[in-house]
Amino acid sequence: MTEGNFVDYVKMHVTSGNGGKGSAHLHREKYIQKGGPDGGDGGRGGHVILKGNSNLWTLIHLKFKRHIKAGHGAHGSSGRSTGADGEDAIIEVPLGTVVRDTETNNVLFEITEDGEEKIVAEGGMGGRGNWHFKSSTNQTPRYAQPGIPHEEKDITLELKVLADVGLVGFPNAGKSTLLSVLTSAKPKIADYEFTTLKPNLGIVKYRDFQSFVMADIPGIIEGAAEGKGLGYYFLRHIERNSILLFLIPADAKDIVEQYEILVDELRRYNPEMLDKERFVCISKSDMLDDELKSEISTILDKDLECNYMFISSVAQQGLTELKDKLWKMLNY
């Protein structure tokens, strides 16, 4: 998926359908005197519904659909005939879509399962026909209820990618390279910072035809909370990841310090993210000889709070062991 095709934020205006009017018809037929009221009810207005679709990975199909309208309910007619319901407007979205009220910014609901449906704007109820209002003292009511008007709402759709493993690291830590080696994804790779401007997803193939999903988000830097770099805009994409995989290059001045900076930025964004399982990979480790690895390991064993391992995406070192480790963390 190219960066230009990844859309994770859409605003739109939705309008449900009006309820149909009830009928005030009085029965008229040859040889039947005083047939009485037989006006039917109006049909329900169409709902605006969001539906989860596991085959979608982005909101690009909604990028230019800024106004969604459902159909109006038909009016009631004679013979107590109820009007047809208005056609529902169904908006298919990828799993992990959060729906907010644009005016209040309150979360209305989230779509997390395939086929899950949620009503974002309810259609108006149809009005009742005059036969509902007949009584012993009012045998020929000549009135019926109007339908209930439609509902309008401005909503914001935010996509939070659903992945098993989320890659976290500074720019140029090797996240995109690792994703390209472990999966069939083709992220942009270059020797300058902030190469990745949009999240990338890939499926890691494992033994016995099993697999898991890995997500690469743009790099974060110290001060992201103040808007430095790309800020926190893409961090919501790892809120739903089961495991946070930290990538720190072997040539970093202080591996432990970089890890702690990354953890602190995640804490400032959402403290609950620190409850996720964490694992550290020392990338670009093909630059290290055994003596340097031993010295770094001594420091990490003492000061690093979670497990780690050395890998090299370019030299294909440690990748099988990494997949084994991630699979074990995901399934045990």
Give the closest residue to 235 by CA, choosing from 255, 257, 263, 213: 263
One-letter amino acid for residue 4 of the chain: G
C-alpha separations of 17 from 52, 121, 122 in Å: 22, 9, 8
| Pair 210, 248: CB distance under 8 Å | no
Binding residue positions for Mg(2+): 176, 196
Binding residue positions for GTP: 169-176, 194-198, 216-219, 283-286, 312-314
Task: Report the sign of the C-alpha dihedral through residues 216, 219, 222, 223, in that order.
Answer: negative
173 dihedral zone (left: phi>0; alpha: psi -120 to 50; beta): alpha
Binding residue positions: 169-176, 194-198, 216-219, 283-286, 312-314
